[in-house]
Homo-oligomer: A and B are copies of this chain.
Amino acid sequence: MYEFDEDTAVRVQADGSYRGTVTDRWSVGDRPNGGYLMAIGLRAMAQTLAQPDPLTVTTHFLRSPAPGPVAVEVEVVRKGRTVETAEARLHSGDREHVRMLATFGDLRAATGPTQVLLRAPALPGPERCVPLPSEAKLPDGTTATIMQRFDVRMTPESVGWVMGRPSARAEAQGWVRFRDDRPADLISLVQVLDAFAPAVLAAGHRGSVPTIELTAHFRAHPAPGWLRLVTRTNVLVDGYLEEEAEVWDAEDRLVAQARQFARLAGAGEG
């Protein structure tokens, strides 16, 4: 069993809720990464619903959980012939950490016109990009255990800020795959979407960037191999920002897309 599947597994309880465990293996500093929490919630929703694929999921991050047991309540909001909507609440006791709202369907059964006006990013190959070390320290001195799970190769322009050479654009591009060679699937894409440091840091801004809300769309089952992730912040106003993310697979298909709303929190703001 791969680490991702082990660490996102949920077991249904007699009352219909789910239990899982938030491990410390997908953290940035002392906080479990947002994509990891979303994956746990999606696993519980997928076990509840008849439709196989998440199509769109929105997550509001309420309070960061400490590693340990977590409960997931899933409410089926709407059952339908082609799509189903559900809500999930991750909590420990009376502390809710994450609220999610998602619609599931079946991407492989979909039929209709196709017209794609975005192009896959042309990146230098993974061997010509900058591998992030698995034991990397963050600028604030904390470690990111998630880097022990993901093999990330950033374009040189995307990591200039770490050496004090920020770029004009708040953008990051690179390659991502699981270090243990787990093949990507739709649910693991939420982890990939959230695998980079905030793009706003690439433009030289400093601070922590807590995500308030992240919405992901799932567009195709990913092909085996490296994934390309591109993230970008276009609009930072008075500390509030959006960040776009696109994941492209080895066959040049857009497999997932996300936009998050976050806050660039200055020193002392937390």
- A residues touching B (Cβ–Cβ < 8 Å)? 55-56, 58, 60, 62-63, 77-78, 83, 85, 87, 96, 99, 101, 103, 107, 110-118, 169-170, 203, 205, 212-213, 215, 217, 219-220, 233-240, 242, 254, 257, 259, 261, 263-266
Contact = CB atoms under 8 A, between A and B. Distances in A.
A225 B24 CA distance: 52
B212 A264 contact: no
A233 B87 CA distance: 27
Nearest to A80: B62
B234 A116 contact: yes
How would you classify the secondary structure of chain A's contact residues: helix, strand, loop or mixed?
A: strand
Total copies of the chain: 2
A181 to B, nearest CB: 27
B117 A259 contact: no
A256 to B, nearest CB: 11
Given A77-B96, A77-B99, A83-B212, A115 B236 contact: yes
A137 B147 CA distance: 56
A100 to B, nearest CB: 8
A103 B60 contact: yes
B101 A60 contact: yes
A249 B266 CA distance: 28
Contact of A116 (B78, B103, B235): B235
Contacts of A220: 237
